[in-house]
């Protein structure tokens, strides 16, 4: 994930994993470098070459993996190509189409990484708040944050939504997000939903003394996204959830670039599974849900945790986190939110793997608590406190009833 | 690809291929139908069930493939789920996030097809011109159309671009498209490029007596797409090329919905290879590059041909064509444009496989002709004439010099 320091300024690089049983990887790499830039090279007259050289792609590196007696399908190379920034405009569709437009269809090839040049990156302001900014809004700097998700939203009306919100908030969660499949609908229309939930947040704050960010799902036609975001914010929303991959990264970058949209944005990974899981095709998760999400400006990025039902291998999870935090990128860090299948008994594992630069995010693990969602939230907070205090969950649970009940239901996986 | 006639009105269906070595497919299907709609079901009280039933997803069908002695990884089921339209707004991001948002990340699962309800489809006007409309604009109804692509564009200036355009146009091609990697740049900025190419088209028309559509690459920030489209049209563009997958389908649907963008749009498949080639993940090509492209309103859809270097199996290619033409969809048909690796010697094969509902699209096969691009275009037209006349290419080439030279270079594959 590191930047290619050896690459000249003014070039952005792309790294691919290319599977080929027989191809000459050097020739293939050269073909990409020429084919996706100036189109033809060797047959050009010398004078044309001089004029065209600044537009020509460059092969940066080829790392071939050709084990002795490799079975068919095992031979591959990781190929890095440098593309002149001159060739494309400073937006993510242009970068992606240049580096992985036609090439995505050229056999078994996966886009592993992109390292945009400083010049390209200068067009992006990145996360408006970032991990620290979200922490500051909440006044919490010394522990992972806790997020919860509504249990059920479709077909429920405002009073029901309010009650679900209130119970979650009373448990001491820091962040509550809409379900990503909650669209504009007559039962809980955007502004009413925001007003209702923000009102419940206020009520809970009186009890918990704790601030909370509510991420309202931002939906609708692409050209109305900014207007809808402002409507939500005017109604009191202090966060937005966005299904970025269904609209394209640029739609998020434009939301972020709008100074009037001054609340944190959480990027939901809906449709990400269409891209990252195949070893042979698509876009690697650390790029898809890490670096590009951060360049496009999300403050938080959700992705499938390595613990639950919707699984991404742990190594890949940690690479997503690394991309969201990577200090070599001149943008604020974005908060990693490994999601799905999370219960309080997993908190030691989460904090061992991710440290404190993580949002613990749960749905069923909050709502499924024997004493309800508020108790579920408290169980999570107790689990976090226990790990912070260096106490095993089972021990800590002896005088923390909510945690005890959670462990009774879901068990515990100490780190 | 046919609609599920058995599904009640007001439901849109999604069909998935789900690979699982052991899972109970019926239970899995039920889990999808509940999990992606009302969230929980069996534990709901009877009165709540009555209220929630209209929001509940329904399992339409499960076709399990469990061959005797299946090796690990071979067992799968094609599962169709009906989703109430009530649950999502009438836009493609909402449909995709509902049906394949979270689910895309849930193991080895590929989205094979979507069959939106009539009500959902009523929000889409589809291709503004469609296949017939494009034919009418050109006055050609009795043969496949011929499209050509610039040879090289990056680093070239307006006079060079003009000469490339002119040579292509003089060969009698019907459609000329920009390269998809040509972005806004100082050498050939949008309006100048359009003016220059349209001027070349006029010059060629005086010679050929033939009309031509020039598809200018539409790029830039999402919020500026409509404005850029209008700038191109005001400068004389009579077609637009659009990298739809890098912006999302909704961006194209909004372009099409704008009455002032009154020229045909060709959808480029850049990045499509990130979605369709894996058998286990992503979105099937007939849906990705066929049905969804057409619903979003493209008049032409480019996709990798089964003949050339960038390959998609022929069966899948024909399924893309079928989706673009399918008369059961209440939208105009979109023109299929199988692309890459096409030379005149392939025309009999193309016309055997696709009939006349096809655009023959070539780059190298035009520019690589021994006598240049104009001769290259003529060779293609001669090949089309030969097939229409029922004459073998080799025979026809005896008194058609351009075709003879093309066959000399690339050979011929009679159908």
- pLDDT tens across A142-161, in order? 999 999 999 889 999 999 99
Q: Record the tokens describing residue B414, joined without a space.
A: 């009679």
Residue to mutate among B47, B273, B283, with most A CBs inside 10 A, is B273
B331 vs B297: CA distance, rounded Å: 9
Catalytic residues of A: 102
| Interchain pair A94, B183: CB under 8 A | yes
Which value, in Å, is the radius of gyration of the alpha carbons in chain A? 23
The answer to whether the beta carbons of residues A140 and A131 sit under 8 Å apart is no
Query: What is the enclosing helix (H) or strand (E) of B304?
Result: strand B300-304
Q: Which of B133, B176, B171, B174 is nearest to B151 (CA)?
A: B176
Alpha carbons A297 and B198: distance in angstroms, whole number = 39
User: Which chain A residues have a beta carbon less than 8 Å from that of B180?
Assistant: 97, 101-102
Of A51, A101, A271, the CB nearest to B180: A101
Half-sphere exposure of B398 (CA within 13 A, CB side): 5
Residue B67 pLDDT: 84
CB contact (8 A) between residue B275 and residue A268: no
Q: What would the mean pLDDT of A238-254 be, rounded to a whole number?
A: 98
Which candidate in A73, A102, A304 is best for mutational testing of the B interface (most B CBs within 10 A)? A102
Give the pLDDT of residue A310: 61
Q: Give dist(CA A253, CA A250) in Å, integer.
A: 5
Residue percentage of chain A with pLDDT more than 70: 98
The strands making up A213-218's β-sheet, listed across from edge to edge, are A335-339, A300-304, A265-267, A239-242, A213-218, A175-177, A145-149, A359-362
- Confidence tier at A393 by pLDDT (50, 70, 90): very high
- A339: which strand partners? A304
The shortest C-alpha distance from A110 to chain B (Å) reads 8
What is the percent of chain A with per-residue pLDDT over 90, rounded to a whole number?
Answer: 89
Instruction: Name chain B contacts of A222, Cβ cutoff 8 Å.
Output: 93, 222, 248, 250-251, 254
Q: Output the pLDDT for position A42.
A: 86
Angle CA(B212)–CA(B218)–CA(B222) in degrees, nearest 5?
Answer: 155
Please list every residue in chain B whose beta carbon sits closer than 8 Å to the beta carbon of residue A274: 100, 104, 111, 274-275, 281-283
Q: What's the gap in Å between the CA of A176 and the closest CA on chain B? A: 17
Cα-based distances in Å from A39 to A30, A247, B372: 11, 30, 17
B56: Cβ contacts below 8 Å, ≥ 6 apart: B33, B34, B37, B38, B41, B84
CA distances (Å), origin B253, targets A278, B114, B120, B338:
29, 17, 14, 22
How many angstroms separate the CA of residue B77 from the nearest CA in chain A? Answer: 18
A52 vs B contacts (CB less than 8 Å): 155
Q: How would DSSP label each residue in B334-402?
A: -EEEEESS--GGGHHHHHHHHTTS-EEEESHHHHTSTT-HHHHHHHHHHHHHHHHHT--HHHHHTT-HH
Interface test with B, best of A35, A271, A296, A307 (most B CBs within 10 A): A271
Confidence band of A3 (pLDDT split at 50, 70, 90): very low
User: Can you tell me the ipTM of this complex?
Assistant: 0.96
Res A1: pLDDT: 38
Give the mutation candidate from B42, B221, B339 for the A interface (greatest A CB count, under 10 A): B221
Q: Count Cβ atoms below 10 Å from residue B328 Cβ, excluding itself.
A: 9
Contact A101 B40 (CB under 8 A): no
Q: What is the pLDDT of residue B413?
A: 87
Six-digit token string for A27: 């020739």
Tally of CA atoms within 13 A in the half-sphere of B258 that contains its CB: 20
- Residue A282 β-bridge partners: A110
Could you tell me the domains of chain B? 11-121 (3.30.70.150), 130-410 (3.20.20.110)
CA distances from B69 to B18, B73, B214, B279 (A): 18, 12, 55, 20
Do A154 and B104 make contact, defined as CB atoms within 8 angstroms?
A: no
Q: What is the pLDDT of residue B91?
A: 98
Angle at A358 between CA A355 and CA A364, to 5 degrees: 120
CB B83 within 8 A of CB B4: no
CB-nearest to A273 from B220, B247, B281 is B281
CA-closest candidate to residue B361, choices B344, B378, B348: B344
Write the pLDDT tens digit of every residue in B48-64: 999 999 999 999 999 99
Low-confidence residues of chain B: pLDDT under 70: 1-5, 309-310
pLDDT, residue B309, reads 67
Determine, for residues B89 and A246 on separate chains, whether the beta-carbon distance falls below 8 Å: no
User: pLDDT by residue (tens digit) across A284-318?
Assistant: 999 999 999 999 999 999 999 998 766 788 999 99
Q: Are B4 and B80 in contact (CB under 8 A)?
A: yes
The structure tokens 């599904």 sit at B7
Residues counted in chain B: 415
Structure tokens given for A377: 């939230």
Give the nearest partner residue to A105 out of B103, B109, B310, using CB atoms: B310
Cβ pair B155:A93 closer than 8 A: no
Is A251 in contact with B254 (Cβ distance < 8 A)? no
Mean of per-residue pLDDT scores for chain A: 95
DSSP bridge pairs for B147: B175, B361
Structure tokens at A216: 């309202």
**Mean pLDDT across A227-245:** 98
- CB distance B273–A106 less than 8 Å? yes
Q: Angle A225-234/A190-208 helices, nearest 10 degrees?
A: 40
Phi, psi at residue B65, to the nearest 5°?
-115, 100
Please tell me which of the candidates B39, B247, B250 has its beta carbon nearest to residue A93: B247
DSSP for A20-33, written as a single string: -SS--HHHHHHHHH
Nearest to B89 among A92, A93, A220 (CB): A220
pLDDT tens figures, A258-278? 999 999 999 999 999 999 999
Note the pLDDT tens digit of each residue in A75-132: 999 999 999 999 999 999 999 999 999 999 999 999 999 999 999 999 999 999 999 9
- Catalytic positions of B are 102
- Write the pLDDT tens digit of every residue in B233-260: 999 999 999 999 999 999 999 999 999 9
């Amino acid at each position: 994930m590191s930047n290619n320091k050896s690459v000249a300024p003014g070039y952005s690089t792309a790294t691919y994993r290319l599977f080929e049983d027989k191809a000459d990887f050097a020739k293939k790499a050269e073909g990409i470098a020429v084919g996706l830039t100036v189109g033809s090279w060797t047959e050009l007259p010398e004078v044309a070459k001089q004029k065209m050289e600044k537009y020509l792609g460059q092969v940066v590196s080829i790392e071939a993996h050709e084990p002795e007696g490799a079975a068919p399908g095992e031979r591959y190379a990781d190929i890095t190509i440098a593309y002149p920034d001159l060739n494309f405009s400073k937006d993510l569709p242009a970068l992606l189409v240049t580096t992985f437009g036609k090439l995505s269809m050229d056999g078994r090839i996966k886009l592993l990484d992109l390292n945009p040049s400083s010049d390209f990156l200068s067009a992006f302001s990145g996360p408006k708040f970032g991990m620290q900014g979200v922490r500051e809004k909440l006044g919490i700097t010394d522990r992972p944050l806790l997020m919860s998700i509504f249990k059920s939203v479709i077909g429920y009306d405002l009073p029901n939504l309010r009650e679900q919100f209130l119970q979650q908030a009373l448990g001491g969660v820091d962040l509550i997000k809409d379900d990503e499949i909650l669209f504009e609908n007559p039962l809980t229309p955007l502004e009413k939903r925001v007003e209702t939930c923000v009102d419940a947040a206020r009520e809970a704050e009186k009890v918990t003394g704790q601030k909370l960010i509510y991420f309202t799902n931002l939906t609708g036609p692409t050209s109305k996204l900014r207007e809808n975001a402002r409507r939500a914010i005017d109604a009191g929303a202090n966060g937005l959830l966005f299904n970025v991959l269904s609209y394209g990264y640029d739609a998020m970058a434009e939301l972020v670039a709008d100074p009037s949209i001054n609340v944190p944005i959480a990027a939901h990974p809906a449709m990400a599974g269409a891209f990252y899981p195949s070893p042979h095709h698509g876009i690697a998760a650390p790029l898809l849900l890490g670096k590009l999400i951060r360049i496009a400006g999300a403050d938080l990025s959700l992705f499938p945790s390595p613990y639950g039902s919707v699984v991404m291998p742990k190594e890949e999870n940690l690479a997503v986190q690394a991309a969201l935090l990577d200090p070599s990128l001149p943008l604020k860090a974005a908060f990693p939110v490994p999601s799905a299948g999370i219960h309080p008994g997993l908190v030691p594992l989460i904090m061992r793997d991710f440290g404190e630069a993580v949002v613990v995010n749960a749905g069923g693990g909050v709502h499924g608590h024997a004493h309800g969602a508020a108790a579920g939230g408290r169980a999570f907070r107790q689990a976090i406190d226990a790990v912070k205090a260096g106490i095993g969950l089972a021990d800590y649970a002896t005088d923390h009833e909510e945690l005890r009940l959670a462990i009774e239901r879901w068990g515990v996986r100490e780190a």
